[in-house]
Structure 1
Amino acid sequence: MKKNIKNNVSWVGKIDTELRQFHGSDYSTHKGSSYNSYLIQEEKTILVDTVWRPYADEFVNNLKQEIDLNKIDAIVVNHGEVDHSGALLALLEQIPDTPVYCTAKAVDSLTGQYHRKWNFKTVKTGDTLDIGNGKSLAFVEMTMLHWPDSMATYLTGDNILFSNDAFGQHYAFGGLFNDLADRCVLEYEAIKYYANILTPFSQILKRKLSEILSMELPIDIIATSHGVIWRDNPIQIVEKYAAWCDNYQENQITIAYDTMWDGTRSLADAIAAGIVEEDPKVTVKVYNIAKTDKNDVITEIFKSKMLVMGSPTVGNDMLGSVAGFLHFLKELKMKNKKAATFGCYGWTGEAPKKMAEFLEKAGYDLVDEPFRNNWNPDANAIHTARELGRRLAKA
């Protein structure tokens, strides 16, 4: 169903309330998501992005109810990933000669995924497309935000930035606009999206934000490819991104662990108690990674100034669940974070040291010796763990 965004610009996407996993199973979508596609109807009719392939036929059929497909003068593909481009096959089977505007890298990704030679028109930053009535589309390359092929498109006159993945969230909200959404849910889903997807590209994003702001474009609406459309003070999300990409941290410490027989869990609780005793103002969050959604824990680590990681020793190493979690964490390339490690053991006790070595290689600043406890912690061990928490609070 078409929904008006502003003047002759409409949303023609798909709200997916059932989605619970994204990027395979690498990203949790507790609130679903949306695949935002936009129809611009000036002297020329332009379609900006499409939807994920499972909804391609539904998308094309709905589009037919709104417009004669042959009247579409061009399709803008801001990013070739399948959640944005998935309906191109079905759409271009019906209007095969329609020009497709995208970056040169997007030609590579689209042909690589769909094995079709469409009527590509490659663009780069500064290129424009006149769409009539005194309006034009201006293209801005967004390389590595978060694919090499990404770009944003700006509509003059209406002052709309079609930002693609930047500034989005996985949040299925039928009201479409940020001023109608639950603010707490929106803010959480926005930072979760940044932490788990865009963090590795923070320095690139920092430079790109400066570039976009230097253009001094008036922006009335930021129309994302996922989640809500920012129409009420849209610059607020730009300001959030400016903070998040600058080695972001809050006054928070996150303790994350897995445990076999609750010994490492007991240490985690004692460390948390020691931190709070030393510094009641710091927020301490404790998570068993085997029982908590991975992406939610990553979001809390992104917000934190310190990560305290725990695992018992098994097979002379950390638990596989912890190793996998740390591998994902390393890929995100977070900066300006301190770290410490701990764990119980029965025979050899290598896990805390190996976790510490891994975190140090990932760029974390270790602030204490790896703490290990032989067998189940007794009162003395709990006291020692609380003292560790006190030291970490001071660090």
Structure 2
Amino acid sequence: MGEGDRRLQTQTTQIAKDTTTIRSLDWDRDRFDIEFGLQEGTTYNSFIIKGDKTALIDASHQKFKQLYMDALSGAVDPSTIDYIIVSHTEPDHSGLIQSVLELCPNATIIGSKVCITFLENLVHIPFERKIVKNGEKLDLGGGHELEFILAPNLHWPDTIFTYDHGTDMMFTCDAFGMHYCSEEVFDSDFEPLRGHFSFYYDCLMRPNAKSVLTAMRKAKELIPKTATICTGHGPLLKVHLPEILESYSSWSTDATAKLPVSCGVFYTEGYGFSDTLAEMLARGIAKTEVETETINMAALDTQELIEEIGRFNGVVLMSPPADSPTSAMVGTMVASVSKKQKLLIAESYGGNDEPVDSMAMDFAKQDVAMPVDPLKVTDTPSEVTYQLYEESGTDLGQSLTLKKSIEKKKTGMDSGLAKALGKISGGLYVVTASKGTAKSAMIASWISQASFEPLGFTVAVAHDRAIEAFLQVGDTFVLNCLKEDDYKDLMKHFLKRFPPGADRFEGINCHDGENGSPILNAGAAYMECKVVSRLEAVDHWIVYSEVTAGNVSGDTRTAVHSRKVGTYY
């Protein structure tokens, strides 16, 4: 068991001939980065393959250090490990690589070129290494021949898949995973997993849908033979494998087909908060139906950088460390970004960032459009910082899709049908929510009661609304009803376009509810709510929530909202 009130366990299970998994079970983890509200904890999966030689695939999170090292020593004599295969260098999978190396100093670390470069900065002891290319094989003996597939940006720049021809197992690290903690090693019952599987894809893989399809194309000869996908998080997948593979393929195909506008987020892996902040920007951009890719500048040479920049309508540049090889690439970007592209520059908060103002001036001299002001970070990034970056990404994405949105409205539905749809009326509400120190709000009218026991209702939230990130399953918020005879000031305030990261409650008379979200004192009523489920409805999320508390303010009716047409709010 673990420290404090966190339940940490390890589970060691043989899953195939000569193949064992060590699963680190994190039962109570309730958040994974800012975008993941976890209902069922998560797992970190590691694997041992024994042929004539022994290979370890991935390790675990630093928080499991003693538990994991004990489990590893119980499953294999660490000194006999010949290879350590690093699927990627994200800390939750490679946090214990150095600890493992100290027990088997003669082992060879296997990874992509980018992976080995990163490890040199993470592992502070000498190590043997082997850089593998796509399709390269390694024979462990005993029938276990491993084949490597390079799968960058899933969701880390140095990701590789490993296929064991002896067991037909594919080891995919983050891809195909889910945040779900259970002692069930395999996906025997997929129903309780389905929502976690799709939510994980939406948050982590959908912004990199093009990379998903590329990886699956590289593995197309192996996928038909795959008996089990051994993921880095959650249960291993074999019972429902056809459905799982088809879902990834169809979701990614749909995502790329619907996203002709694209944006590249260029960052420096392992530097300061560049990784996390880049992910938040990418998530905000992707909410506007813009195809989004995160690209590690350190993995590119000059020509590759020029080619990458040319693929996108929009470019995000995370400030690299000054006086570094990555910093030298900024000049290449200044010369390569065209007037037709749109640019956002943001700090990485690494302690030695290239100044964003200086970079912005260099791009401005080339008449590059910068619809969002450069992002600066003055303190250690918090929920407020992440909110700022996500909302700024959304603003950039909206600027990239503005022309498309206007054209869509011009070629919209028949005017008579639009007027008929507008006859569906609703009330006027303000949805308010908080996460840590970050807060958000929006005017809502698409509200409908959906259940009696428990008391529940639905609210429709557009994909690109800032508050969408605050309304994940398990999150809490407040539904404030506006008064019929006194709603215009509040409505006008919350309909304003707020700059990214702005305080939406400045000057508003309110207090925090029991769940921490703001209650508007001038409202007709309020209800404190918890998100139970979400359903995607093309360009909106239908969020079903249960009411946990509430009250009214006198005998005042809720304001009613009537529209002229059904093509806008």
Q: 1:83 to 1:365 in 2, by over 3 A?
A: closer
CA offsets 1:163-193 (integer angstroms, 9 cap, x no match)? 11100000001111001x4x33311111111
Secondary structure, in 3 states, of the residue corresponding to 2:446? helix
Q: 1:2 to 1:259 in 2, by over 3 A?
A: closer
Q: Is the 8 A contact 1:19 1:33 kept in 2?
A: yes
TM value normalised by structure 1: 0.69
Q: Is the 8 A contact 2:82 2:106 kept in 1?
A: no
Farther off after superposition, 198-207 or 152-161: 198-207
Report the AA paired with residue 22 of structure 2. V
CA offsets 1:207-242 (integer angstroms, 9 cap, x no match)? 322232245650000000000101114232111111
Secondary structure, in 3 states, of the residue corresponding to 2:253? coil
Q: Is the 8 A contact 2:150 2:215 kept in 1?
A: no
Q: Say which of 139, 146, 150 aligns to 1:130.
A: 139
Q: Is the 8 A contact 2:86 2:110 kept in 1?
A: yes
CA offsets 1:255-312 (integer angstroms, 9 cap, x no match)? x97459xxx87x62x4346xx9xxxxxx9743698798444499xxxxxxxxxxx986
**Structure 2 equivalent of residue 20 of structure 1:** 30
In the alignment, the residues of structure 2 paired with residue 311 and residue 48 of structure 1 have an alpha-carbon distance, to the nearest angstrom, of 55
Deviation, structure 1 residue 54: 1.0
CA offsets 1:240-263 (integer angstroms, 9 cap, x no match)? 1112112359xxxxxx97459xxx
**Structure 2 equivalent of residue 43 of structure 1:** 52
Q: Is the 8 A contact 2:80 2:104 kept in 1?
A: no
Report the AA paired with residue 185 of structure 1. P
CA offsets 1:11-57 (integer angstroms, 9 cap, x no match)? 1121110211213x442222100000011122211111110011122
Report the AA paired with residue 186 of structure 1. L
Report the AA paired with residue 34 of structure 1. T
**Structure 1 equivalent of residue 13 of structure 2:** 3
Secondary structure, in 3 states, of the residue corresponding to 1:223? strand
In the alignment, the residues of structure 2 paired with residue 32 and residue 116 of structure 1 have an alpha-carbon distance, to the nearest angstrom, of 33
**Structure 1 equivalent of residue 193 of structure 2:** 186
Q: 1:294 to 1:89 in 2, by over 3 A?
A: farther
Q: Does 2:449 align with 1:271?
A: no
TM value normalised by structure 2: 0.49
Q: Say which of 212, 233, 243 aligns to 1:236.
A: 243
Q: 1:11 to 1:257 in 2, by over 3 A?
A: farther
Which of the pair is proportionally richer in helix? 1
Q: Say which of 214, 230, 246 aligns to 1:207.
A: 214
Which of the pair is proportionally richer in strand? 2
**Structure 1 equivalent of residue 70 of structure 2:** 61
Farther off after superposition, 31-40 or 66-75: 66-75
CA offsets 1:336-356 (integer angstroms, 9 cap, x no match)? xxxxxxxxxx9xxxxxxxxxx
Deviation, structure 1 residue 323: 8.9
Deviation, structure 1 residue 105: 0.6
In the alignment, the residues of structure 2 paired with residue 292 and residue 208 of structure 1 have an alpha-carbon distance, to the nearest angstrom, of 28
**Structure 1 equivalent of residue 485 of structure 2:** none
Q: Say which of 154, 158, 163 aligns to 2:167.
A: 158
Q: Is the 8 A contact 1:38 1:47 kept in 2?
A: yes
Q: 1:323 to 1:209 in 2, by over 3 A?
A: farther
In the alignment, the residues of structure 1 paired with residue 250 and residue 447 of structure 2 have an alpha-carbon distance, to the nearest angstrom, of 27
In the alignment, the residues of structure 1 paired with residue 243 and residue 498 of structure 2 have an alpha-carbon distance, to the nearest angstrom, of 41
**Structure 1 equivalent of residue 92 of structure 2:** 83
Structure 1 stretches lacking a partner, 5+ long: 250-255, 277-282, 299-309, 325-345, 347-363, 367-377
CA offsets 1:318-375 (integer angstroms, 9 cap, x no match)? 3867999xxxxxxxxxxxxxxxxxxxxx9xxxxxxxxxxxxxxxxx999xxxxxxxxx
Q: Say which of 293, 318, 324 aligns to 2:498.
A: 318
Deviation, structure 1 residue 317: 3.8
Report the AA paired with residue 460 of structure 2. V
Q: Is the 8 A contact 1:313 1:319 kept in 2?
A: no
Q: Is the 8 A contact 1:312 1:318 kept in 2?
A: no
**Structure 1 equivalent of residue 560 of structure 2:** 382
Q: Is the 8 A contact 1:289 1:297 kept in 2?
A: no
Q: 1:322 to 1:290 in 2, by over 3 A?
A: farther
Q: Is the 8 A contact 1:258 1:311 kept in 2?
A: no
**Structure 2 equivalent of residue 224 of structure 1:** 231
Report the AA paired with residue 172 of structure 2. S
Structure 1 vs Structure 2: percent identity of aligned residues?
23
Report the AA paired with residue 51 of structure 1. S
Q: 1:177 to 1:382 in 2, by over 3 A?
A: same
Q: 1:26 to 1:380 in 2, by over 3 A?
A: closer
Choose between structure 1 and 2 for higher RCO, CA contacts under 8 A separated by at least 6 residues.
1
Structure 2 stretches lacking a partner, 5+ long: 1-10, 259-428, 434-440, 451-456, 476-489, 505-521, 523-537, 541-555
Alignment of 1:302-317 (within 5 A): 313=493, 317=497
Q: 1:379 to 1:12 in 2, by over 3 A?
A: closer
**Structure 2 equivalent of residue 100 of structure 1:** 109
When the two chains are superposed, the root-mean-square deviation of aligned CA atoms in Å is 3.9
In the alignment, the residues of structure 1 paired with residue 72 and residue 244 of structure 2 have an alpha-carbon distance, to the nearest angstrom, of 30
